[in-house]
Amino acid sequence: MNRRVSELGERGLIRRLREKFPSLHSIGDDCAVLPGIRCPVVTTDSFFEGTHFHRWWAPPQILGRRLLEAALSDIAAMGATAKWFFTALSVDPGIGVNWIEGFYQGLTEREDVILAGGETVRGERLGITLTVIGEGEDRDTILRRSSLHPGDNLWITGLLGRALDAPAKLEKAGGLSGKDLKPRSGFLSSAELEQLRAFLQPRAELELGIKLRKAGIRCAIDISDGLFSEASHLSLESSVDTVLEIDETLFFDSVKDNPLAASAAGEDYVLLFGAPVGLEFSSVGCSKIGRAETGNGEMTIFLDGERVSINAKGYDHLGVRK
Amino acid sequence: MNRRVSELGERGLIRRLREKFPSLHSIGDDCAVLPGIRCPVVTTDSFFEGTHFHRWWAPPQILGRRLLEAALSDIAAMGATAKWFFTALSVDPGIGVNWIEGFYQGLTEREDVILAGGETVRGERLGITLTVIGEGEDRDTILRRSSLHPGDNLWITGLLGRALDAPAKLEKAGGLSGKDLKPRSGFLSSAELEQLRAFLQPRAELELGIKLRKAGIRCAIDISDGLFSEASHLSLESSVDTVLEIDETLFFDSVKDNPLAASAAGEDYVLLFGAPVGLEFSSVGCSKIGRAETGNGEMTIFLDGERVSINAKGYDHLGVRK
């Protein structure tokens, strides 16, 4: 029996979520009371249906987990440990209660991050705000955008481009369904399927973030808004120039023919970090993607050895060596 | 020049808010990094236009402050100190930028609670989720719903009923405007005006919450969903019966003729707390409103000495002494 939220009402839904997910409002008080936190790091992310996700993309459990990982990625980028999170759900009353429960199932899958409280309101559009509280080692070792130094190499922790044309590709497949995420109706190449599964199942680089911190790294950011945008943040916040050298090996197979657009597409949730020359991270799945130079915050991009300029209209190969 | 959010775009709005309210995203990193917290208490509250507030009610600054106080009230009810808060704004692009700035002005008026980070997304409906992080003394002295003991007296920290028919009364006044909150067009009695000003300008009982904790009080809740609902929570969570004795002196003048409806109306943001017999709080503006008895969670209500029963259809005077 799949009832709609409108049949349960707001209070009925809250009661049902509390029964199924005891950590939600579990203490019964106005606030969650957490154990002491030495160095709290906190992030807030909102996701709305239609803007940040679509229900037809994938089963609710996959979507819930995906949004949590996106929020956790901010904690990973600080080199911190994620510990608790809070939900503020805005729920369209026409949605089936089973969908909401599947969504919370996804949100609560991880055992290392605890759903410590929540809020539920009725809204025309399905949406959720996630507030995550993590813990850093101490203020001095937090990874920051402003800690890039001239001479540092720039690295990324995984392949880029999973979001490029993902909505259109998902439409071609009629969305992915089941636990193994198979195309619901249409056809996808195996490269496209690999990309979409990665797009729907990002994993916040929490362990790697902590490893980097322990290795002495102090500058990182997660790639949620695209490589160019995030590298540009590092440049500006650190007041150094960055030089990016991108080539097709850095991307998912299905977007290799479009590396510039893939670098701008965002939602990769891998880390971009700066490391002193001599430190090597290839063995833990990272790729060198550029370096920092003395300067005042400019970014230069080379694609397969050719300089590229980015402007509001798109990209131009400057073709220095043409 | 009052531009609309749609002219600035999401990024333009964020940039402008960051300029005006430097604590917002101020550190430039993915997360806010806070000082260590001994006993963190955390609450999340969502407010949407049309459901929880209307723009025509009052100037944006008043509304922003009002929503913050509502969220802080949860922290007050724990006997904790409010310290930081985070905003997740969902903004209708048709709204004037000046309105948003006024709203944030209200949200950032308090100097004791710091806006430590935020998120902004585009939405059809104006709404905001506030996550507040406070600090308690330690886990043992947190005020809880489950700490009411048989024999305790029940107290409230202020007058009740400010929300009763407040939207209709505000409509009669065409909303309240200016810093001194005067009726915009219609007419209100002075009692109605007093009620509406209190409704629009609640003050979270943070100082009193801490005082109560220091005086040895261990059971409190804030009255956000109405006295009956909150007293019922205390009864159930503490597994004791409660007896409420309400009379007209407990209410704002404009709702005195309707004390039962006023007790159910909510949004009073005063505290309801339990205290051992012998402790007196009249001198700090509190009123005794009942007591706890051995039992298993039932609530009994007396209005001016007569027992009243509450059911789904409303209230009945049982008329024991008729």
* Angle formed at CA A38 by CA A34 and CA A40, multiple of 5 degrees: 70
Closest CA to B87 of B60, B111, B58, B120: B120
CA distance A143 to A212: 9
Q: B149 and B55 share a domain? A: no
- Domain limits for position A277: 145-162+202-317
Task: Please report the pLDDT score of residue A317 as a whole number.
Answer: 62
Of A34, A48, A52, the CB nearest to B42: A34
Q: Once rounded to an integer, what is the mean pLDDT over residues A5-26?
A: 80
Residue of B48, B78, B123 with shortest CB distance to A48: B123
Distance CA B150, CA B297 (A): 11
- B44-83 residues touching A, CB cutoff 8 A: 44-46, 48, 51-52, 73-75, 77-78, 80
Please report which confidence band the pLDDT of residue A25 belongs to, taking 50, 70 and 90 as the band edges. low
Output the six-digit token pair for A62.
Answer: 């996959």
pLDDT value for B274: 98
Q: What is the ipTM of this complex?
A: 0.93
For chain B, the domain total comes to 2
pLDDT-based confidence at A314, cuts 50/70/90?
A: low
At residue B320, the pLDDT reads 43
Rounded to the nearest angstrom, the minimum Cα separation between A122 and chain B is 8
Question: Does one domain contain both A219 and A282?
Answer: yes
Report CB contact under 8 Å: B40, A146.
no
* Judgement on whether residues B156 and B300 belong to the same structural domain of the protein: yes
- Of the residues A13, A25, A33, the best mutation for testing chain B's interface (the one with the most B CB atoms within 10 Å of its CB) is A33
Residues A116 and A251 in one domain: no
Query: Is the domain of B298 the same as that of B217?
Result: yes
A41 CB within 8 Å of a chain B CB? yes
- Residue A212, domain member (yes or no): yes
Q: Kindly indicate the confidence band of residue A16, based on its pLDDT and cuts at 50, 70 and 90.
A: confident
Residue ranges in chain B whose pLDDT is less than 50:
319-322
Q: Which residue has the higher pLDDT, A14 or A27?
A: A14
For residue B171, tell me if it sits in a domain.
no
The verdict on residue A186 lying in a domain is: no
Whether the CB-CB separation of B243 and B151 falls below 8 Å is answered with no
Average pLDDT, chain A: 92
* Statement to judge: residues A154 and A290 lie in one domain: yes
Burial zone of A124 (CB within 10 Å; 0-12 exposed, 13-18 middle, 19+ buried): middle
Sign of CA dihedral B261, B263, B264, B268: positive
For residue B31, list chain A residues with Cβ-Cβ distance below 8 A. Answer: 41-43, 74-75, 77-78, 80, 134
* Cβ-contact B195, B166 below 8 angstroms: yes
Domain identity same for B307 and B230: yes
Chain B residue with Cα closest to A132: B31
Quick one: A126 and A275 in the same domain? no
Give the gap in angstroms from C-alpha A170 to the nearest C-alpha of chain B. Answer: 23
Count of H-run helices and E-run strands, chain A = 8, 15
Give the separation between CA A272 and CA A199, rounded to whole angstroms.
Answer: 18
Q: Is B186 part of any domain? A: no
Shared domain check, A155 and A70: no
Residues 125..184 of A with a Cβ closer than 8 Å to B: which?
Answer: 125, 127, 129, 131, 133-134, 136, 139, 142, 144-146
Among A32, A42, A48, select the one facing B117 at the smallest CB separation: A42
A55 pLDDT exceeds 60? yes
> Cβ of B239 under 8 Å from any chain A Cβ?
no
Indicate whether A167 belongs to any domain.
no
For residue A313, being part of any structural domain is answered with yes
Paired strand residues for A154: A274, A290
> B235: domain CATH number?
3.90.650.10
CB B133 within 8 A of CB B83: yes
Domain match, B151 and B295 both: yes
Task: Mark whether A309 and A251 lie in a shared domain.
Answer: yes
> Are residue B127 and residue B208 in the same domain, yes or no?
no
In a domain, B182, yes or no: no
Residue A318 in this model has a pLDDT that exceeds 70: no
- pLDDT for position B321: 38
Give the nearest partner residue to B124 out of A117, A125, A131, using CB atoms. Answer: A125
Torsion of CA B57, B62, B18, A91, to 10 degrees: -50
CATH of the domain at B77: 3.30.1330.10
Whether the pLDDT of residue A322 is over 50: the answer is no
Whether residue A208 is contained in a domain is answered as yes
Structure tokens at A230: 């995030």
